[in-house]
């Protein structure tokens, strides 16, 4: 019997292969269909970003370097991926606001935007207020901006190893301002990198980055995880449905979904968008706040 982890790897790898084929053919409709299916299979945003979109785009880059596709193909694929990154965050549930604020960018000379944007989106879904200001931000300008606003964390994404000196300079400048924010660095440039960069944390992927920030910012067990939230909402849907004398099929009809979907929701196994929450609340004659008011 295969493990759940192995099954997930096979599923994600299949989505990656299909996405790569569609991006190579610059097929926007097909690419959207792949991500839509991944979301319906309850693949997490982290998994879709790290195991589907990122490796597909890495291979697109390799195809360009090998001369098998043109730069026009690569640029078109990048534009499609930008919309897919937005699609993931727009169709995923956001945790409750944790009161923390992050700024995400890349240092001077770094023009690769994808990793920074995806990490900004993951922070947003994790409950952060996020300022994503794009890429190629000079350290002096960034430090000046940080002295004018209040953020708890600055995240810098670096793809090219040649930009490590630039990020080192940025970290030194940021750490010199009064009450500097916590700094976290990530991206392919740091693969095999064993040195320290000031007092900054260095991570190898976005999932590790979220864990490091949770520990550094004291986001502990008192906060609901996504799974706990889904289970809590599912239990609330079940409770209200029964109180109204509805079976799963009747609620499904009222909400415009199938019965299996309601079963997944009530068992905490269905990722929910805000649109889906509004539909369920309306079908149950209650509010979204009521569905989300449960005890841990």
> Are the beta carbons of 119 and 209 closer than 8 angstroms?
yes
Q: What is the pLDDT of residue 271?
A: 77
Q: What is the pLDDT of residue 241?
A: 93
Nearest to 47 by CA among 9, 99, 84: 9
Measured distance CA(71)–CA(205) in Å, rounded: 27
**Token reading at 295:** 């005890």
Q: What is the pTM of this model?
A: 0.81
Residues 100-132: tens digit of each pLDDT: 999 999 999 999 999 999 999 999 999 999 999
Residue 227, pLDDT above cutoff 80: no
pLDDT class of 5 with cuts at 50, 70, 90: low
Q: Which CATH superfamily is domain 226-291 in?
A: lambda repressor-like DNA-binding domains (1.10.260.40)
Q: Which fold has domain 101-217?
A: Rossmann fold (3.40.50)
pLDDT class of 67 with cuts at 50, 70, 90: very high
- Percentage of the chain exceeding pLDDT 90: 73
pLDDT class of 296 with cuts at 50, 70, 90: low
Q: What is the pLDDT of residue 1?
A: 41
- Interacting residues of 40 by C-beta distance below 8 A, sequence separation 6+: none
pLDDT higher at 255 or 1: 255
Mean pLDDT of 241-261: 92
Residue span(s) of the chain under CATH 1.10.1240.10 come to: 4-90
Residue span(s) of the chain under CATH 1.10.260.40 come to: 226-291
Residues 21-35: tens digit of each pLDDT: 999 999 999 999 999
pLDDT class of 231 with cuts at 50, 70, 90: confident
Residue span(s) of the chain under CATH 3.40.50.280 come to: 101-217
Q: What is the pLDDT of residue 57?
A: 96
Sign of CA dihedral 252, 253, 256, 257: positive
Q: What is the pLDDT of residue 295?
A: 62
Residue 144, pLDDT above cutoff 90: yes
What Cα–Cα distance (Å) separates residue 12 from each residue in 6, 38, 46, 99, 198? Answer: 10, 8, 11, 33, 36
Residues 87-97: tens digit of each pLDDT: 999 999 888 88
What is the second-level CATH architecture of the domain 4-90? Orthogonal Bundle (1.10)
Measured distance CA(56)–CA(15) in Å, rounded: 9
Residue 53, pLDDT above cutoff 60: yes
**Token reading at 193:** 């990198």
Lowest mean pLDDT segment, chosen from 77-81, 110-114, 222-226: 222-226
> Are the beta carbons of 162 and 187 closer than 8 angstroms?
no
Residue 75, pLDDT above cutoff 70: yes
């Amino acid at each position: 019997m295969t493990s759940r982890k192995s099954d997930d790897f096979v599923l994600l790898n299949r989505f990656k292969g299909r996405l790569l084929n569609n991006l190579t053919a610059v097929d926007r409709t097909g690419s959207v269909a792949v991500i839509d299916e991944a979301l319906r299979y309850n693949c997490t945003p982290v998994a879709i970003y790290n195991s589907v979109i990122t490796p597909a785009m890495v291979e697109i880059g390799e195809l360009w370097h090998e001369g098998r596709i043109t730069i026009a193909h690569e640029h078109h694929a990048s534009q499609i991926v930008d919309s897919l990154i937005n699609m993931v965050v727009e169709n995923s549930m956001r945790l409750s606001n944790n009161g923390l604020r992050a700024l995400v960018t890349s240092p001077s000379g770094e023009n690769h935007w994808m990793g920074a944007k995806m990490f900004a989106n993951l922070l947003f879904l994790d409950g952060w207020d996020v300022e994503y200001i794009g890429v190629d931000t000079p350290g002096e300008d960034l430090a000046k901006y940080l002295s004018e606003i209040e953020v708890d964390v600055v995240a810098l994404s670096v793809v090219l190893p040649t930009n490590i000196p630039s990020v080192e300079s940025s970290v030194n400048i940021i750490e010199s301002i009064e009450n500097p924010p916590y700094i976290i660095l990530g991206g392919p440039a740091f693969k095999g990198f064993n040195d320290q960069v000031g007092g900054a944390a260095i991570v190898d992927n976005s999932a590790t980055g979220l864990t490091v920030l949770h520990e550094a910012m004291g986001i502990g067990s008192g906060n609901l995880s996504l799974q706990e939230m889904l289970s809590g909402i599912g239990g609330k849907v079940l409770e209200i449905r029964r109180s109204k004398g509805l079976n799963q099929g009747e609620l499904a009809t009222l909400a415009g979904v199938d019965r299996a979907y309601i079963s997944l929701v009530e068992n905490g196994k269905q990722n929910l968008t805000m649109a889906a929450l509004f539909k369920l609340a309306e079908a149950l004659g209650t509010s979204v706040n009521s569905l989300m008011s449960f005890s841990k």
